[in-house]
Structures are given as C-alpha cells and as structure tokens.
Amino acid sequence: EAGVAQSPRYKIIEKRQSVAFWCNPISGHATLYWYQQILGQGPKLLIQFQNNGVVDDSQLPKDRFSAERLKGVDSTLKIQPAKLEDSAVYLCASSFGTGIDEKLFFGSGTQLSVL
C-alpha cells in the first residue's frame, strides 16, 4: 500500500516569496492534515480536511497561509509571503476517519528554509 506522498522534499526561498507544497494521501483516507514542525518541537496542526471540507483551521495563520483540497483527494498548502519564522518541516498526514481509534499516517515532509 502506498504511503502519503509529499513534494518537494526541500525548498529554499527568500523572505517575502511565495511557496506551495503538495500532498497525496493514502487511497481511501477521507481525512487529511497539514502540520508544521519547527526544529526541536513536536508537530503542530495547521489545518484538517474531511473530504474537501475544512474541519479545523483555527491554528492556520490565515493572513499568509492557505490550503485547499478541491476534489477531496490531494491537497496543496501555500505560504504567501513567507517569513523567516516559517522555516520548518511541513508534514502532511491522512487517516481513514476521525473516531477515537483514529491513526494518522505521515508523509516524509517538505523541509522549508526561508532566508
């Protein structure tokens, strides 16, 4: 079974530029998450989708971050304009459901460096 696919693996940009990340979840997984992981910290949820609808985006900095999952399968996360503090690994995860027995499966992440 294929895992969660993410691209690119690495991205280096200058502050105030824009960047986009792509994620393809495990087939059949209705729930998709984007997490931000700053070096030395645990993953922090940015946004959760259930199919193509947003369930939780309370921790997404909406002035610069946006995400979409138009057809309920793959998703893109965009940052515009980027700031130095956005340097982090951006992890995509998916799960079959959101019940108490939910298990999240993660992709390898995109490491973003903002110079």
Partner 1 sequence: GQQLNQSPQSMFIQEGEDVSMNCTSSSIFNTWLWYKQDPGEGPVLLIALYKAGELTSNGRLTAQFGITRKDSFLNISASIPSDVGIYFCAGKETSGSRLTFGEGTQLTVNP
Rounded to the nearest whole angstrom, what is the least distance from the CB of residue 3 to partner 1 in the complex? 9
Nearer to partner 1, 6 or 114 (CB): 6
Exposed, middle or buried, 30 (CB in 10 Å: 0-12/13-18/19+)? middle
Residues 37, 44 contacting (CB under 8 angstroms):
yes
Bridge-partner residues for 47, per DSSP?
34
62 lies in the site for partner 1, by CB under 8 A: no
Question: What values do phi and psi take at 84, rounded to 5?
Answer: -55, -40
53 lies in the site for partner 1, by CB under 8 A: no
Which of the ranges 12-20, 62-70, 71-79, 94-102 carries the binding residues for partner 1, by CB under 8 A? 94-102
Any idea which residue has 């997404």 for tokens? Answer: 60
10 Å Cβ neighbour count for 34?
24
Nearer to partner 1, 63 or 101 (CB): 101
56 lies in the site for partner 1, by CB under 8 A: yes
Q: Where does this chain bind partner 1 (CB under 8 A)?
A: 4, 40-45, 48, 56, 91, 93, 98-109, 111
